[in-house]
Amino acid sequence: MEVKEILFMNKGDGENSYVKSSGYMQKVAAATQPMVSGAVQSFFRENCSNPPLEVLNVADLGCSSGPNTFTVMSTVIESTVKSCSELGREIPEIQFYLNDLVGNDFNTLFKGLTVIEEIFKNVPWFAMGAPGSFHGRLFPRNSMHLVHSLYGVHWLSKVPKLTNEGGLPLNKGKIYISKTSPPGVREAYLSQFQEDFLLFLKCRSPEMVPDGRMVLIFHGRKSADPTLRESCYTWEILAETISYLVSQGVINEEKLDSFNVPYYIPSQEEAQDIVDKEGSFTIEFIDTIVVERGSTWSRPEARARSLRAFTEPMISHQFGEEVMDKLYGKVTDILVLEDSKQGNESSGVSIVLELKKKKI
């Protein structure tokens, strides 16, 4: 199995499940819903002179199996009802396409739809799964009116090439960009993000109707420097932990040196440059926001569980299930020690981007 294929797979219902550890993502989803609502209302206002829309097609990309998708669905339905009421229009049927990689637990996702069924009994809405990578085409031409993605776009389609001409690792002892990484590592990560985000936009462009809206929320950074703590804190903790287990003979050093995460945290300027280069969309809104993680984040044990739920699929794929308890136990130890020295990261940085498909 490719590393990319396991990134969005749900971890089940146990203590370390992604669903139970996604409180911060739920806070981000809630904080960004006004953007989703505004995008829906703007679409209806700008297309009120056209024949009444019979079906509103909405895609949620990289939806996983958590409650965030239901938050988005509720916002879309409520905003559609409100917009149509204000414009004196009949409410269209709403078709949701819930996308993630083929390994996602779609059954868990569909079971959760009973929440939406109870709330919106009198609104005609439907949902179906749309398995596949959003780095390729997913939908027919001119079919999508609204596309949404929460914390998906920063995942890369593959790990950038991080070896020299002789095949030796460039990022030895690390798993992401760090202060000790040579410039080639930063350049390779940025280049891969540029390639992937450009492809993402090129794939969405033919799928969306003119004036269609796309709302993207993804991890971001405020600084131009990708090596600052705000960008690489999680991966530095894991690299330190894995290095310790290498020193103890628990993990083979070659496994560490051959592993880097398919993930990139861009700046707002980097994301905007790619949108401008692709050329199919106008930027209606872009901002870098900071969301507090909440009181539970103050406890090292809670942060370690959250980090485990977020990273374990790809970490265990590389280093083996048998060392996971020891690895994340060491993560907890490091977080406790860090707290005693400098405190914890109590907030997270995200980029919020609303795009409108240009008319040709």
**Residue 239 belongs to domain with CATH number:** 3.40.50.150
Residue 298: its pLDDT value, please?
A: 65
Residue 146: its pLDDT value, please?
A: 98
Q: Which two tokens stand for residue 76?
A: 């879309």
Q: Which two tokens stand for residue 234?
A: 């999680």
In angstroms, the first-to-last Cα distance of the chain is 41
Compute the distance between CA of residue 30 and CA of residue 150 in angstroms, rounded to an integer. Answer: 11
Kindly write down the DSSP assignment for every residue of 286-301, as one continuous string: EEEEEEE--GGGGSHH
The kind and range of the H/E element at 212 are strand 208-219
Residue 5: its pLDDT value, please?
A: 44
Q: Which neighbouring-strand residues pair with 131?
A: 100
- Tokens 């804190």 correspond to 233
Closest CA to 227 of 184, 262, 176, 290: 176
CA distance readout (Å), 18 to 10, 171, 305: 6, 28, 10
* Enclosing domain of residue 207: 3-357
DSSP annotation of 94: E
Kindly write down the DSSP assignment for every residue of 261-318, as one continuous string: -SB---BHHHHHHHHHHH-SEEEEEEEEEEEE--GGGGSHHHHHHHHHHHHHHHHHHH
Per-residue pLDDT reduced to its tens digit, 175-214: 999 999 999 999 999 999 999 999 999 999 999 999 999 9
- For the chain, what is the domain count? 1
Compute the distance between CA of residue 343 and CA of residue 325 in angstroms, rounded to an integer. Answer: 24
- Tokens 């609104």 correspond to 123
Collect the ranges in the chain with pLDDT lower than 70.
1-24, 66, 293-298, 340-347
Per-residue pLDDT reduced to its tens digit, 70-82: 999 999 999 999 9
Residue 292: its pLDDT value, please?
A: 73
Compute the distance between CA of residue 35 and CA of residue 71 in angstroms, rounded to an integer. Answer: 13
Closest CA to 221 of 254, 184, 255, 176: 176
79 close to 41: Cβ distance less than 8 angstroms: yes
- Quote the longest CA-to-CA distance of the chain: 70
Per-residue pLDDT reduced to its tens digit, 102-147: 988 899 999 999 999 999 999 999 999 999 999 999 999 999 999 9
Amino acid at 189: Y
Residue 227: how many other CB atoms lie within 10 Å = 17
Residue 58: its pLDDT value, please?
A: 98
Residue 269: its pLDDT value, please?
A: 97
Residue 8: its pLDDT value, please?
A: 39
